Structure formats: structure tokens, C-alpha cells
Amino acid sequence: MRDRAPPKYAGIHTRALAGTASPRMAIRAMCLQCVSYDVAEVRACQITDCPLHKYRPYAVEVADSGTSGASQDQAATTLPA
């Protein structure tokens, strides 16, 4: 059974299925479909064994592990909740 995309995402879903979407758009469509079109769930995705996990849209970038502790603390306080 194929779920229907909400009207807000119908265009991206249709283009991805038709093969006319860019790779980035197709990944966005897949990630949204995977979590029932909930952007917050895409952002919070913890399925690290998914081949698309590193490419998922809406992900918050984390500080590089090579930075100093002070800059990591500062980066952590400036990220949106």
C-alpha cells in the first residue's frame, strides 16, 4: 500500500516517483515519506544504518570533533532547540 503525500508535499513526491526530481529532492521526498511527512522527525532521525541518513534534509549540523571544547560548548548553546 502506498501512502498519499499531504498536499504540501504532493509535488515533490510526484516528481520523485516520476524520476524528474533532483537527487536532493528525491532524498527529501524519501525521508519525509519514511516518517509520515513530519519534518521534525526527519531532523531527529536516529536510523543511522539508513543509506540516506548522512544526506537527510533538515539535519542540524554538529560541531566538528576536532574543535576545542570551548567552541563546542558555544556551538551547543547557539543551536535552536
Q: In terms of pTM, does the model score above 0.85?
A: no
b/e for 33-66, b at 16 or more Cβ within 10 A? bbbebeeeebeebeeeeeeeeeebbeeeeeeeee
Domain ranges of the chain: 7-62
**CA–CA gap between residue 22 and residue 12 (Å, rounded):** 10
Residue-wise pLDDT for 7-58, tens only, equals 999 999 999 999 999 999 999 999 999 999 999 999 999 999 999 999 999 8
